[in-house]
């Protein structure tokens, strides 16, 4: 109950409860990175295709043609 009260504010002008501005409490969550140290996460199928020498741009890390 206390958490909800901290996020709400009573407005006497409107005679009602309003939600406080949430932009002040902005929290940026960083996406998980690759466990292998690559730029992006990569599935096992893509890693196997690269190891077998598949030249398909679908399996490249940077996808640059």
Averaged over 32-47, what is the pLDDT? 83
39 located within any domain: yes
**61 closest CA partner among 33, 46, 51:** 46
Ranges 7-11, 17-21, 49-53: which has the least confidence: 17-21
The total domain count for the chain is 1
14 located within any domain: no
Q: pLDDT: is 48 or 39 the higher one?
A: 48
45 located within any domain: yes
Q: What is the mean pLDDT of the chain?
A: 79
13 located within any domain: no
pLDDT surpassing 60 at residue 17: yes
10 located within any domain: no
Give the model's confidence band at 37: pLDDT under 50 very low, under 70 low, under 90 confident, else very high: confident
- Give residue 64's domain range: 30-65
25 located within any domain: no
54 located within any domain: yes
């Amino acid at each position: 109950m206390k958490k909800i009260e901290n996020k709400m504010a009573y407005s006497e002008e409107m005679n009602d409860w309003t939600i406080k501005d949430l932009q002040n409490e902005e929290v940026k969550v960083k996406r998980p990175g690759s466990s292998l140290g690559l730029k992006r996460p990569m599935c096992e199928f893509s890693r196997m295709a690269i190891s077998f020498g598949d030249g398909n741009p679908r399996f490249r890390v940077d996808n640059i043609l």
